[in-house]
Structure 1
Amino acid sequence: MAILSDYQEENQDQTMEIIEKEQENSSTLAPKEEEHSSSTPKEEKLQPNKSNGLDMENYSWGQSLQEVTINVPVPPGTKSRFIIVEFKTNTLKVGLKNQPLILDGEYFKGVKVDECYWSLEDQKEISILLTKQNKSDWWKSLFKGGQEIDTQKVEPEPSKLSDLDTETRAAVEKMMFDQRQKQMGLPSSEEIKNQDMLKQFMEQNPDMAKNFGNAKMMMPNSRMME
């Protein structure tokens, strides 16, 4: 004859086994859900147009390292007095009077307002020129939150590279070199510079270089002793 306390303990043991199995099942399902969420494809970056920008539905834009150009078609015969263009350091508004704005957004990066211009071409297109504040970066998009281009596929015109000032040209050449190195899985210009400096130091100071090598070998032991 079973004792009541023993019967209760057996039921408790069975209940605990059921709970543990449920917990194991739920824990095995969790990683699958995480894997599913992490496998969600990210939005791919687009191939730049020939002007290193994008052709959009109502406008197109392009860029050099120094400037951004925007072309906005308008109805033929449009007069300049009907055009609205508002330049600000971080935002741009473009449109026609008494109509919804064609462009209204925050630049991908800041511009120099005093060096931004617009003109009406053949009464059918607004041409806009923006001067970048930072002249060593490619914009991924015209506006923040907009469709992005793959800046590694940007192709600056070689003929214009020679027209840049010394500082900007050096920055462009360094950036192009680093992009090529990255694509080939090779060290960047900064990493190569550091490697050359270390090599030169070791050649000029062989004794210190030897001690430096020993110190690196002893480092794991010293950490273990700590």
Structure 2
Amino acid sequence: MASVRDTYDSTLLGILSNEGEITNFLDVVIGFLYRRTDFFRIMKSKNDKLGFPPGTAAKLLLKEFKKYEAFAQRDEMEREKKRAAPTHPPGISEMKTSEQQQVSSTTTSKTNTPAATSTPQTTTATTASTTTVPSTGGAGDVKAPPSQNKDEDENTRASKQQQAFQNDPLSYNGAVREKYVWSQSISDVDIRIFVPPYIKKGKQVEVTVEKRHLRVCYRDDKGVSQTVIDGNLTWDVNKEECMWSLVPAEHVHVSLEKREERWWESALEDEPKINVRNIDCSRPMTDLDDEAQAKIGEMMFNEQQKRLGLPQSHEQKQHEMLRKAWDAEGSPFKGQPFDPSVLNINSGGVISANVNKS
């Protein structure tokens, strides 16, 4: 992907340099989509050949933003890991290992010395005891059944494999398969089906999305139709809200909207399943209702204010009440500069003077 996109960097850098600000740069790019494409044209019926269904263009922009946001988060995590990695002078680990081996060897020789000087009877008895008494099954001898060890090994391998998928935004919460790669959120599934380098136009591709079926074909260099995917989806989708696009010479991007919010274990029924316990099941803030978003926003604001030593939201409300009471009729402070430290508000909302204020 990077090699294809890099070819446009010089042009885009020229535009950015000329505009000077990200906001102006975005205005140029989105303005181009408005003037020169059907990106903002709304399809009024299924017979329209230009434009997108209502809300689809905004979804496309948001999807691309989330994709590169995930890239940035992954890069930041890698930088954090590098900063947190302990640094040791070269050779320290090898020196410790060598010293441990010497200590172990010395301890063993000291332990064996008394046995060599003991009487023959004692030695014989000890040997007999060692060879005839069965294991007592102590804590050091307890071993997990082979089947349990096998399950643990498989779970560990699956967890490591899923972590590798999580590190790639294109397979985030999904997986990489032979012919495609897929990712998901709680409400959408994105499948990118690989195509040969000579597939550069949409008319070379045929995509059919049904409620629970996906079929993707392309025409090869001889004009013969080749089927890449033809299988049942794991769960139902809203086919009217699904869309696809071609990234020339790379892949066909199929975006599916789930009919119900749930985490899929696989994109297609016949592919290996992932363990959804190993994925990121958190939901983006934009998926929450307005009330929840407002509450989280208030919490984030309060945390920021607390770090800066400034009044939090509830304290600001109290200060506003105090300011009104300060200049109210009959207030002993009327006309004086506002000083909230000389007033208190109890849990019942009653305002009183701070007698401890000097």
Amino acid of the structure 1 residue aligned with 2:250 = K
1:49-128 alignment, distance < 5 Å: 49-50=165-166, 51-78=172-199, 79-97=201-219, 98-128=224-254
Corresponding residue of 2:86: none
Unaligned runs of at least 5 residues, structure 2:
1-146, 167-171, 294-358
| Counterpart AA for 2:238 | K
Q: Deviations over 1:112-140 (max 9, x none)?
A: 001111101134221110000011x1100
Counterpart of 1:34 in structure 2 is none
| Letter of the structure 1 residue corresponding to residue 271 of structure 2 | G
CA distance in 1 between partners of 2:226 and 2:180 (Å): 15
Matched residue SS, 1:100: strand
Which structure has more relative contact order (CA 8 Å, sep 6+)? It is: 1
Where do 1:1-226 residues align within 5 Å? Answer: 46-47=158-159, 48=162, 49-50=165-166, 51-78=172-199, 79-97=201-219, 98-135=224-261, 137-156=262-281, 161-166=284-289
SS of the residue 1:163 aligns to: helix
The CA deviation at 1:166 is: 2.5
SS, match of residue 231 in structure 2: strand
The separation in 1 between residues aligned to 2:243 and 2:263, in whole angstroms, is 20
Structure index of larger Rg? 2
C-alpha displacement of 1:86: 0.2
Distance 1:134 1:166 in 2: 17
Could you tell me the percent identity over the aligned residues?
25
**Deviant stretches of 4+, over 6 Å:** none
State the one-letter code of the partner of 1:73.
F
Alignment length (residue pairs): 128
1:115 partner amino acid = E
CA contact (8 A) 1:77 1:124 kept: no
Unaligned stretches of 5+ in structure 1?
1-37, 171-226
Tell me the TM-score normalized by structure 1. 0.50
RMSD: 2.8
